[in-house]
Amino acid sequence: MIIQFCGLSGSGKTTLAKKVKKHFDATPINIEIIDGDEYRNNLCKDLGFSKEDRHTNIRRLAFVAGKLAKYKVVPIICAISPYEEIRKEIATSYPDVKTIFIKCSLAELIHRDTKGMYAKALLPDGHADKIKNLTGVNDPFEIPESPDLTIETDEESPEESAQKLIDFIEKNAKANL
């Protein structure tokens, strides 16, 4: 099984994946986190933020996930993955891909602003520090049409969100072990 997250920056993708991995470290289910930020700094640092580059980034992350899944590792791809087209491509290119929407309101993301990116994206046009391609603000994010699971990190505690994902993995991974 491959889990592909999709959700805006700051929605809690990596935090959630780390909580879930910690839970499964003491079980036979082996989880590996493929963190979009970490991979962008290493494997994908040649890519920008055009739609084409974002697709290439997701394809690379999915390729790594596919290799891990062959060895009974459950990879969690923690990336924004803003386009339904590439999410569907990944779901049809690899066996047993589950799409999980990490949902959080824009108002809450602006409040959290864990990386300071929303403040920069909301600066006036022409400001030297303005970010022009922040997904969900001034770059598109397509809500998934039919995710396998939706986790609402602005409505649930981190523990509730983690438990939802733990239950989902336990239910779906047993067939693959």
Catalytic positions: 81
Place of tokens 């036979």: 28
- Cβ atoms < 10 Å from Cβ of 139: 17
CB neighbour list of residue 118: distance below 8 Å, 6 or more residues apart? 9, 10, 109, 110, 134, 137
Among 106, 108, 118, 103, smallest CA distance to 7 is for: 103
Tokens representing residue 153 in the block: 């990190």
What count of Cα atoms within 13 Å lies in the side-chain half-sphere of residue 106? Answer: 12
- CB burial string 156-170: b at 16+ within 10 A, e below: eeeeebbebbbebbe
Tokens representing residue 174 in the block: 């047993």
Tokens representing residue 159 in the block: 């523990």
